[in-house]
Structures are given as C-alpha cells and as structure tokens.
Structure 1
Amino acid sequence: MSLSSGKGNNGGYLPKVVGTPQHMENETLLEGLQNILDDYPDGSQILREMVQNAEDAGATCMKIMYDSRPIDPGDSLNISKYFKGPGICIYNDETFKDIDWRGIKKIGASFKRKLNEPLKVGRFGQGFKSVFHIADHVVILSGKKLLIIDPLKSEEKEDDCWSASLKDLSEDDSPQKTLTCFDCKYGFNSDIIFEDEPEYEGTLFWIPLREKSSLISPKLYTNENIYQLFESFKREAPIIPLFLRHIKNLELSFGQTDKLSYRVELVEEHVLEGNKEYEKVIREIEQRKSLPDTTISSVREVVVQTYPRARKGFTKDHWTIVQYLYGSTQMSQSMKLLSRDKGLSLSPCTGIAFCTKSNSVNKLSGHVFCFLPLPLSDRSISGLPVHVNGFFALEHNRCHVKFGCDQDQNDNSLLWNDGLISEFLPQNYNHILCHFKEMCKKDGNTPDLVETFYKLIPDPDIVDLQWHLLLKPLYAILLKDTSFYTTQNGGKWIQIDDSVADIFYGTTQNEHEKVLQVLEKLLIDCGVNFIKLPKNIKKVLKYMDHNPMSITPQLIRDNLRSSECWQEYKIVQKLSILAFILSDKQYGELDGLNLLPLSDDEHTFSKFLNDAEDIYVLCDESLDLFPGFERRLVSKKNVPDGVWKELVEIAEKGRRKGSQGSTSSRGFLSSGKRPFLDEIYNI
C-alpha cells in the first residue's frame, strides 16, 4: 500500500490512502483464553478468583461442591453436553445484575476498570477465565437467566455465548433432565422452571471437567486433581474473609455425601473504632466513584471458625484488623497524582490483621493480600508478624506484587506500590500497635500482653528485603512514641529516650544475663525507668542506629550512691551487684560503697574506704589462723570466683603500688590515702 499527499481545506497536506481498506485482526475468545491461561496458573487461584468475583458482587456466602457423578443428560439436545458431569458447582448468595452479565462475557481486560469502580478488584475480569484450566465450557444460572460460555464455538465461527431466560425453557428442552447437575444443590430445584415467573435467588456456576484434550488446554482433571485443588485452597481459606467486606462464609464439599467437607465462617465481629463511618464513606465512594478528602480508618475484632470436617470440632482464630482509606489531602503529591491515574485504577486502601489468640496449628503469618491472600509462595510472604493488605499493583497473573527488581523503575505501578508500602502502611501499622497498647493498659499490662505487643513489631532480620520500605518510617514513629513498657510506678509506657534499656554495650548480653534480674530490681527500686527489650526490638535499635541509655557499671554505682533501698537486699543479690560494678575495673569508683564482703559468720559487708582500717584478702583457706579478725578479712570461700579474682586484683595493685607494710601484707595507696585492701600470704 502506498501513500500520496493532497492539499486539504486548511491549507495543509493530509495523507490519502490508495488501495483496499483493511481491518486489524481481533483475537477470538479461544485465542484470548489461551493467552490468559498461559499467564494465570491453575491450582487454588481458580477458586480464589471465584471468591473475589462473589465478593465484588456483594455475596456473603460462597459454597463449592465437587460432584463426582458421571452425569449425562443425553444426546438428544444440542445443549446437553454443557450439563455433563463430573464437575464443580459453585454457589454464592448474590444474584447477577445486568452489569455482571455483560462483564462476564468480556475477555482480555478487567471490566471493573472500564466501569471506574475504585474499590472493586475483580468484577469478572481475566481472573474468572482461569476456570477454563478445568473445563471447556461453563454454565451460569442466576436469577431469571441462564448463560452458557463455549469458547470452542468461536473457532467454528459460531456464537461462543448462548443465553436464555428460565421462563423461555420449555418442556422440549427437558429442563428436569438437562439441569440435573444443579438439582438439589443449594436450594435449586428444576421444578421452578414451570413456575409463572421462574427465578433462582443466588448464582450457580457449573464447571464440567474436561473430558479430552482440547484447543483450550490439554490438561484433564481427575478426582485426585480436584482433591489436591481443594486441599490447596483449604490452606488459605481460614484467612480469606479477613479483608473482605461481604464474604463471611466459605464451604467446600467433596462429593454429594459431603465427604471431606470443610467450612470457614466469620462468626463474631466487634466494631471497636470508626467502622460505621468507614463503611458509610465506602458506600459514598461506590456511588460517586471518587476518593475522600480526609483519611478514614476502622478497627474490628473478628473471630474466624474453621470446621475441618462438617461440624465435628473446629478451630478458632481471634483477629484484630485495622483498615485505612487515605484521603487526598493527607497524602504526598506524587501519591495523589498516582491515585488519579486511570491507567492504574487503584485506590489508597491498606489493612493490617494480627492474630491475638488461636488454637490452630501451622498458622500462616506475614501473608500479603490484595483483599484476598496472594497465592502462597516465598514471594507472598513478607516476613512481617502481621498480614498486610493493600490495593497493590499486581503482576499480570495476579500472583505477586510488582516490585522494582522485576519491572522498569519508571513504571507508575511500581511507584504506586512503593508509596503504598513506605507512605501509607506505616500509619496503618502504627495504628494497630497503638490499639494493642491500649488493650495492654486496659488489661493491666500483664507480661503476656506486653510480650505480644513487642512481637507485633517487625524484626528487620526476618522481613523480606522488598518490604524494608515499610521499616524505617514505622520504626521512626515508634522511637518517638511511648512504645516501651516499664514496671516503674506500677507500670507505664514511655519513650525510649526516657528509659534505661537492658543493653550492655561493649560486652555480650550473656555475660550479664544472670545478674540482669537483680539489676532490674535495683533500678526500679531506685526510681529508674528500666525497660526490658526482646531481641527483635534490640535489632530495631541497631537497624536505626539508635542508642538508648544502657546498663553500665557506672550507672549502677551512681544509683547505689543515690539510694539506700538496696541495703536490705539478700547477700546473693549484693554479690551479683558487686560482680557487675567490678567488671569495668574502675576500682577507684568503688569508694564509699558498702559492698565489700567480709568473712564473719553474719556475712556482713564493709565499705570500700581508703581511710578506713585495713581489710585483708586471704589468699588461701587459713582463716582459722586469724581468730577474731573475721571482720577485717575477705575469704575466697565467701564470694563467687569472678568477684574473688577482682578483689585479689585490687589487693595486688595495692601491693605493687604500696610504699609501706610488712612482707606479709602490702598496701594499695591512692592519693596518699590508706588502701581498700591488703593481701595476706600464707605464713
């Protein structure tokens, strides 16, 4: 084809086409499906996509049954092959609207985006088509209508969708025989066809298993494949309802006898903060299709019960869930622009869920959600101690969050995800921490609750590198807030910089772990805001290069001098304190401390004083040779080995620096004063 130019009315030159007009070739439904199935994996994601579509439709309940019977309505009808079995029947309690009937027939792009619905994720986009991993055709029955989708017809230049109202089905269509696959499932009875205005309240999908290799897929599903599909789905099912607004109930049954049936139900829900306002704004957004100006949030406590086999026993998980929808006036300019990007069509929604109580085993943690949990893999586990939800930009197959290592850094979807994680999620995360801190206060700050609070804070060594964008903003908030608990004054929450932490700089933690309990008691008794930090919090401080006041021998010596509370401590406690304050070898700082252990029967202590009468270190077990001198002797048998070595070193320093004394005793002189200790040799 060649192009020539001709002068237009506007004085310019416009191209003129010479030749035969042509049209771009459009892919058929079959070709579109083949491309989608290449991207969308099979497995539990097939069922997860159906949950998402039920949620977007507003359904509260979804039930899935595998009917293993070899159903055959007969060959007399053209449509009978679509109702054969075995197959999977999926039910939800919401009826299709006109918009749903249009959306489910679309191929290639999310119908939700075209409708500008900012809070819907699926709405029968590409994800629904993943059911064709299993089947060559699908039947949908909802309300007053029936729809059959047969992509293979497109290759035969025939219509690939066929629909009819239930009222139009006549006896010639043998509905009672044709609809056997639906009969007696979830309240459906084929006799309704003969009512004046037949209508089914709810939606049923019939997905017959592929009988032979086809152009759609060569894979054939067996009973074992369906069992594995269900088992994979069950591993995620207990957490599926957490961030959904509508779905509260999920059921699986394997065969009509309910063999291996399984049920997940959100049975309790307590609104603690802001949820009514949150839901009100959500409904307004759905109506006007625009985001709010100010940020709104909600806090809920929910209980999810899981019944592994019908109702024979169940597990119970208690969750606290904090959800955020960010207002346009409270976000950065870059995120504001991205939130208005119609190409992304993503909303600034986030959520955090933390399990506060559970009797489940093998409970998942740190899962990433885009309202539903992403397929379980290393890339869908964040390493956080909570589940994280966000309206993330996902890879095309909806299996993983898009990150920069995978895509071009100029991609707006990557910038969106970075902002969602670094700008929005830290606020959401801090909210759940503040909420849990208030729970601790309300319930008396019990040790278990305080420990759980600290467990909520991410360990930087465990969190996946992709999620480190969240850490510094979150940690910065925590270090400025009253996020640390001390038992001082009956218990209170304080800032890290107003505390003394159980950190020993310059030495290993294990060296002083045994004396920590005594030091904690001493500091609390002296009125110090002592805090005891678990390992993950100490890693946070290291990660942020933040050095709070730590426990040092000098700090302990200063508090010993400023308070008399420790004078009544037990001997073993005093010896532990003495061991610690000797550890930095600053012996000159011992002056005046009443912690020098004597060898008398009462195990009394003397002061470290340069101007007091001589005290002697007895280097062997010859104490009996000095009757009446017990209050002037320190014996090895009365002190721990570590303390003894330090006391001997003090005495030796006195002998080396001494300028007076006999051969059996040498003095330790300091600034012309008399020694703390002398040393007695075996004589």
Structure 2
Amino acid sequence: MEEDRDSDSDDEIEYSGMIQPPLIRQLRTILSEYPDDGQILKEIIQNAEDAGAQCMKILYDDRPVVQSPSTKKAPFRKYFAGPALLVYNDAKFSEEDWRGIKMLYSSIKEFDRTKVGRFGLGFKSVFHITDYPLIISGDQLLVLDPHQDSSKVCQTMKLKKLHKYKKMKVEDCLEAFSGVFGFSQNTLDSGNFPGTILRFPLRKEETELSDNIYDKSKVEDLFNSFKDEAAVSLLFLKCLESITLLREEDLSKKVDIGEFYFSVYIDETTVENVRSSRDDMKMQIKDVQNGLPSRCIENSYFMTICVKDDACNTMTRKWKVRNLFQGENNMSSTLRRLSCDESFSYSPYVGVAMEVTCPVDFQGHVFCFLPLPSTEKSLSGLPIHVNGFFALSQNRCVVKWPTADQIRNHAHTDKSIQWNQVLVKEVLSDVYCHFLRELVEESCLENGELNEHRRAVSHCIPNKNLVDEHWKILIPPLVAKLKEEPIFFTPNEGGKWIPKSQAIFFRPGKEVDPTIRKILEMYDQNTVDVEDYIWETMELQGCQEVTPDFINKILRTSDKYMDCSTDDKFSLLRYLLSSNQYNILEGLCLLPLQNGSFIKFDRTNRSTKIFKTSRSKMQLLVGMEDHLLQDLPTDIDELFSTLISKGTVVWENCQDVTSIILLILTSNFTPFMSILIYYDIKPL
C-alpha cells in the first residue's frame, strides 16, 4: 500500500492553456460589437489624440493604384492597392504605440490617465473597412495581415531599407503613397516620415474576415457622419486642433493628392490660449503619474470652433469649456476607492461646455472626450455638454447605467455603474457649480453685458423635468452646492448677482403690474425674475416672493410711495386688496380724496368724515373736496364696496346734500370707525 501511495505521488499534473479561437474569429467578434458607422472615424481620431497630434487629415483616395494581384514574387502588392482611405496626423508613433497597435484586447494606455483610448479595441474597428491596415510613422512601416499565420500577422519594415526586403516592390509603395501628405522618394531615402499615415485599402470582395464590401458610397457615409458632429468634435480633446477631410477622384493624378472637402478647426483667435490651458492641465496630471492629486486640477477657456465646407462657407461657434480632475481631498471614500482600483483604471475627470450664444434649440450631449452616438432625444437632458471618463458599453456607444430590474430590486451594481453614478454626483456637480460661478464672475468684468450673462446663467440651470432619469442623480448635489452661490441676477443697484437668500422672487406664471416693479425698485429691493423650471429645480419654494403682504411690509418702512402718481396708487390699492386681507390698508396713505390728495386709512382718527357720491352731486359741494372720496375707476369702486360690506369701513345713508353739509360742519357725530363713507346723497 505504501508503495502504491509513493508511486501515485510521483505522477505529474497535466497543465495546458486555454484554447484560443483563431485571430480571424476573434476579430469578427470584435467587429460584431462595433457598428460600421461614424464610430470608426472616432476611433481613429482618438488614436491621433492619444499620440499627441495637433493636426489630422483624412483622405479618400479613389485612384485605382497597384491593381496587379499579389503573387509569390510580389506578395505585398495587396497592401498598397487602391482605392483606399488614408489618415494623417502630425505625431509619430512611440515604441509603446507600436506595441499597443499590435495588441488585440489590452492596451499599453490602460493605466495612463492622460489617454482616452485605453481599452485596446477601438482601432480594430478599421477591419470593417479593410483586411490589411498599413501604418507608416517615423522610420517604420507596419502591415497587419490577420490572414497570415499567427506568428506573421504583424510585418514591420524600416522605410530606409524598404528596397532591400525580399519580394517587396518599392514601386508599389511609391505608386500608393507618392504625393500623399508629402510622402515621396525622398521619404524613403531619408528613412523618416515626420508624422503618421494610416492606410486602409477598401475591401472589394467578401473575405473570411468580413463580407462587408467597402466602396465610395460607404466612405461618403463615414464622412457625413463626421460632418454631423464636427462642430463639437474638438471641444473636449486635449491635443487635436484641426481635422480636415480630403477627396481625390482624379484617377490620373500623381502629385498633391487630395482636394479639400471639409474641415473643423480651432480659430486662431483662441487656439494659443486653448493649447496653453490644455498643455498645463496635461502636465499637472502627468506629474501625479498614476496616482491622484491632493487638490483638484482644473482649467477653463473660451474656444472658437470653425467649420468650413467645400464651398468655402465658414460657420463659427464660440464655446466656454471647463474641465476638472478631482483631487483626493475632495473625494468621498467611494470615489477614492474606485479611482485607485487598478483593475478598473478610470480617472475622476469631467468637463462641461456651453455655446456662448445659448441657442434656444440647444441640447446637451454626452462625450467620452469625443461625442457618443447621437439619438433623437438628448442623452442627458442637461442644458450643457458633459464630458467624462465614463464607463461605457462594450461598443463604447452608451454610458453604462443600472437596468430597470436593478433599480426596482435595489440589486447590486457592478463597479463601472457605481463609477458613473459617483462621477456624476460628485465630480460633475462640482465642475457644474464652478462653471456657473465663473460665468457670474466673468459677467462682472464685462460692462454692459450683464443681461447676456444673465441669460447664459439661467440657461445653464437644468430643468429637472427634462433631465434623463439616469442623470437626475446630479440635481440634489448640484442644488446643494449652489445654495449660497450668487447665481440670481437682480437689476437692483445697476445689476448684480445674489444668492437666493437675498432675493425677492417674482413667482413664475404670475403677472405683476409694472407699478409693483416700480415700487420694489423705489425701495431698493433685490427682485429676481425666474422661469418655472428654475423655481422647481432650485427648490425656491419658501424663499421670499413678491406678495401683497411683502409690498405692505416695505411700504411701511418709508413714505416713498406717497410720491407715486394717482394711477400708481390705484394700482397699489388693487394689488394690496387682491390678497382679500382688507385690514392690510390700515395706516397707509392710499385713501383718495376729491381734492387730489391721499390720506391714511386710520382707525384712531375719529373726527375725519369722508363722503362718497356721484360726480354730479360733487359739483354741488364746492369747497368740500377734502371730505369727498374721489371719483374712482369702476374696479376700485367695487373694491371699496367690498371694504364696506366686510365692515372695514362704515357708511350711513344721508337724504340730501344739506345733511352732508351739516355732518361735515358739526363735530358731535361719532363714527363707528375713523373713516366714514356715506352713500346715497340726494341733491338739494
């Protein structure tokens, strides 16, 4: 038995790796997750951005170059065939970039907080277009051929030695590249290209990799999808300053390949400031390496973006942009834990942008540095664009949120969903608050433009009824952070910004007589007009509103209102009595006499006798105007009738004018209240 045990213990465990599917099958799986649409160009733009490029050009080269088929003696020909889509940028690949482009599911950018494309899949979407991506950068040329044996998929060559490689026909390379982005025989002689060219020969027939045949119309679709979003494509990038689309349809052309078709670029009036702000923030983030700064890193700038078409029509839009990389000192424990999770590797980075002119039809969009695919409805429902290191779906088209079942059952959510929620609640609410504060501060520096800034600040406040359900988690922390911020504009003292605690609000939907506004201005009140949605979102219920009680209160602080015109005083009477609090007039000099003066509604003065009669009867009482109520507008007259019916004032019938005169001249009449209004006076 002992021997059996010993012999059993000598047996070796059999180890083996997981069986991997062929590369072609893996690529087909990736392509099934990435749509064949404008997302392809976004992935290519993202790669140029991460390489640090400032300028990018995309060329559709329709020329049928290198049409001879590949042979055993010239196997590389197919890599140079045309038509093709070519992409240029002015940055060179680093050694890490060369390694990264050869990775399938991981990325050398994975732990680099300054990079956008850190997941290793995006570039592979170009296999929708081609079977043979070719890259020239610096001194190297790389072909990716997934149809080769797994050990030969990546074929790297030195430009200067291109003519020495067995079976490589340099003339094929020159036919495809000469005159394209400055490439020439001199490039091969020097062995260096000052930038990067990606070339994608269009797939002309079905292959094992894909049955997606690419032609001119599909390239046009790619270009059009980019044009639709071009005006905002540069907003949140950290390096790129221009992207140009080119086309070459002259089949015989050999030099200066590419006719201008479309471009988007940062205007020269703002590009230097934008570049400086971007570079400064990148350096500060790079300084903390893969850690977190103790304090937040932020920048803010105005950016003018121009879009130019092939008819040389140029559209210009000015934006205000603010970015925030949250500091560790301002993080909750949850945000800190997720930010430091190496298996997760996201950065607490969020930005916001608003078009300065605040167009009425503006809809906020969501970016992960480049805009996510558009839908009919705004992705967020917010009135500004939002950018961030959001956790996205596998195809990187939508932000990950909990499902309806998870919400309903309060089920556990994975880290990526937790990340998005805490990023919105903490970092987005912070940068949003800072953005509004900065708008206010900038308005104070620009004379004569307060009204424009007032509109901009109001525009930025979300309408919580329009905000998407997933994004509504932003509202409570944002409102809390804005509680004492001076984001409400009052015209008082020439115009200034105040917090809600100092504001007197005109309630939305309630028409206010201009006289009331005049009175509030006369008494130096901080009046603020707000729209319905701001009233609701900012939770202004309970704040001081303009009401009859409030007007009554300020009228008693001074007698300034006595300088108002008769019509204005009538308007005051209407407004005060609209509260149905008839004692509200006590002590106010708003009782109109026939002599043109106004006296107090005063309960303590028991000797004053005021009579009300018709205009014709008043003519018989010449010299007694200080005892007669003024002939009133119909609605005011009705209000006084209500006062009498409520017992606020008392009246008695007098039979004739003689009785009136006797009552005025005698002093032994003791009225029920200090002011008596007598009706039904008959003429002599």
The two structures have a TM-score, normalised by structure 2, of 0.86
State which of 224, 227, 234 in structure 2 corresponds to 1:234: 227
Residue 485 in structure 1 maps to residue 489 in structure 2: yes
**Greater mean deviation of Cα atoms: 478-487 or 296-305:** 478-487
Gap change, CA 1:546 and 1:409, over 3 Å in 2:
farther
Q: In structure 2, how many angstroms separate the alpha carbons of the residues matched to 1:226 and 1:389?
A: 28
C-alpha contact (below 8 Å) 2:644/2:650 kept by paired residues: no
Would you say the 8 A contact 1:53–1:122 is kept in 2? yes
| 1:584 corresponds to 2:582 | no
Indicate if the aligned counterparts of 2:89 and 2:196 stay in contact, CA closer than 8 A.
yes
**Match runs of 1:113-512 below 5 Å:** 113=110, 116-122=111-117, 125-153=120-148, 159-170=152-163, 173-193=168-188, 195=189, 197-256=190-249, 261-267=261-267, 268-269=270-271, 270=273, 278-285=281-288, 288-309=289-310, 312-357=312-357, 365-377=363-375, 381-405=379-403, 409-444=412-447, 446-503=450-507, 509-510=508-509, 512=510
State the secondary structure of the residue aligned to 1:153: coil
Q: Distance in 1 between matches of 2:277 and 2:79?
A: 48
In the alignment, structure 1 residue 540 sits paired with structure 2 residue 537? yes
Larger mean CA deviation between 560-569 and 176-185 belongs to 176-185
Q: Letter of the aligned partner of 2:463 in structure 1?
A: D
Q: Is contact 1:68-1:223 (8 Å) kept?
A: yes
In the aligned structure 2, how far is the partner of 1:163 from the partner of 1:256? 30
Give the CA deviation at 1:95: 1.1
Q: Distance in 1 between matches of 2:655 and 2:123?
A: 97
Deviation, 1:485, is 2.6
Paired letter, 1:100: D
> Where does residue 62 of structure 1 map in the other structure?
56
Specify the alignment match of 1:506 in structure 2. none
Confirm whether residue 78 of structure 1 aligns to residue 79 of structure 2. Answer: no
Distance of 1:377 and 1:597 partners within structure 2: 63
Residue identity opposite 1:491 in structure 2: G
Task: Specify the SS of the correspondent of 2:152.
Answer: coil
Q: d(CA) in 2 for partners of 1:273 and 1:146?
A: 33
Q: Do the aligned partners of 1:64 and 1:89 also contact (CA within 8 Å) in 2?
A: yes
Output one character per residue of 1:388-428: Cα deviation in whole Å (capped at 9) or x when no partner.
Answer: 11111111111111111277733111111111110111111
**Displacement of 1:471 after TM fit?**
1.2
Moved more, 312-321 or 382-391: 312-321
C-alpha displacement of 1:274: 7.7
| Between 545-554 and 92-101, the greater mean CA deviation after superposition | 545-554
Deviation at 1:519, TM superposition (A): 2.0
Counterpart for residue 666 of structure 2: none
In structure 2, C-alpha distance between the alignment counterparts of 1:500 and 1:536, rounded to whole Å: 17
Partner Cα distance (1:443, 1:60) in 2: 32
Following the alignment from structure 1 to structure 2, what is the Cα–Cα distance between the partners of residues 650 and 366? 54
Distance 1:169 1:487, change over 3 A: same
| Residues 557-596 of structure 1 aligned to structure 2 (within 5 Å) | 557-596=552-591
Distance 1:649 1:38 in 2: 78
Q: 1:659 to 1:630 in 2, by over 3 A?
A: closer
Q: CA deviation at 1:232?
A: 1.2
The one-letter code of the counterpart of 2:502 is D
Deviations 1:522-563 (A, max 9, x none): 12321332222233321223xx36420111211111212222
Spell out, residue by residue over 1:474-504, the C-alpha distance to the aligned partner (whole angstroms, 9 max, x if none). 111111223323233333332212222112x
Matches of 1:519 and 1:441, distance apart in 2: 28
In structure 1, distance between residues paired with 2:414 and 2:261: 44
Contact 1:6 1:16 in 2 (8 A): no
Q: Does the Cα contact within 8 Å between 1:150 and 1:161 map onto a contact in 2? A: yes
What is the aligned partner in structure 1 of residue 254 from structure 2?
none
Between the aligned partners of 1:332 and 1:175, the Cα distance in structure 2 is 59
Q: Distance in 2 between matches of 1:606 and 1:300?
A: 60
> Are 1:482 and 1:495, in contact at CA under 8 Å, matched by a contact in 2?
yes
User: Retained in 2: the 8 A contact 1:654–1:678?
Assistant: no
> Any unmatched runs of 5+ in structure 2?
251-257, 664-668
Say whether the 8 Å CA contact 2:352–2:432 is kept in structure 1. yes
- The 3 A distance-change label for structure 1 pair 136 and 679 is farther
Instruction: Give me the identity figure in percent.
Output: 31
Q: CA deviation at 1:87?
A: 1.9
Once structures 1 and 2 are overlaid, which stretch shifts more, 225-234 or 44-53? 225-234
Does structure 1 conserve the Cα–Cα contact (< 8 Å) formed by 2:486 and 2:500? Answer: yes
TM-fit CA distance, 1:633: 5.3
**Which has the higher mean CA deviation after the structures are superposed, 343-352 or 442-451?**
442-451
Contact 1:63-1:252 at 8 Å conserved across structures: yes
Q: How does 1:21-100 map to 2 (within 5 A)?
A: 22-75=16-69, 77-100=74-97
2:600 to 580, 590, 607: 607
Instruction: Name the amino acid aligned to 1:539.
Output: E
- Aligned-residue offset at 1:514: 4.0
Q: What one-letter code is carried by the residue in structure 2 that aligns with 1:55?
A: E
Superposition pairs of residues 648-659 of structure 1, within 5 angstroms: 648-654=641-647
Instruction: Tell me the alpha carbon deviations over residues 290-333 of structure 1, each in whole angstroms, 9 at most, x when there is no partner.
Output: 222222211222221221236x2322222222211122233112
Once the 2 structures are TM-superposed, how far is the Cα of residue 280 of structure 1 from its aligned partner? 3.1
SS of equivalent residue, structure 1 residue 242: coil
Structure with greater proportional strand content:
1
3-state DSSP of counterpart to 2:519: helix
Q: Is the 8 A contact 1:278 1:297 kept in 2?
A: yes
2:232 maps to a residue whose letter is I
User: Is the contact between residue 106 and residue 125 of structure 1 (CA under 8 Å) also seen in structure 2?
Assistant: yes
| Structure 1 range deviating more: 34-43 or 272-281 | 272-281
Mapped contact 2:64–2:82 kept (Cα < 8 A): yes
Which 10-residue stretch deviates more, 329-338 or 39-48?
329-338
How far apart in 2 are the matches of 1:7 and 1:483?
Answer: 82
- 8 A Cα contact 1:176 1:190, kept in partner: no
**Aligned CA distance change for structure 1 residues 186 and 260 (closer, same or farther; 3 Å):** closer
For residues 417 and 294 of structure 1, the distance between their equivalents in structure 2, rounded to whole angstroms, comes to: 21
Task: Give the 3 Å change call, closer, same or farther, for CA 674–297 of structure 1 in structure 2.
Answer: same
Asked if structure 2 preserves the Cα contact closer than 8 Å seen for 1:350 and 1:428, the reply is yes
Task: Work out whether residues 324 and 350 of structure 1, in 8 Å CA contact, stay in contact via their aligned partners in 2.
Answer: yes
CA contact (8 A) 1:350 1:425 kept: yes
Give me the TM-score of the superposition, normalised by structure 1.
0.86
Residue 681 of structure 1 and its aligned partner are, at CA, apart by 8.1
Q: Secondary structure at the match of 2:398?
A: coil
Shift of 1:386: 1.5
Native 8 Å contact 1:89 1:182 kept in 2: no
DSSP 3-state at the match of 2:646? helix
Distance 1:414 1:649 in 2: 63
Q: In structure 2, do the counterparts of structure 1 residues 183 and 596 end up closer, same or farther at CA, with 3 Å as the change threshold?
A: farther
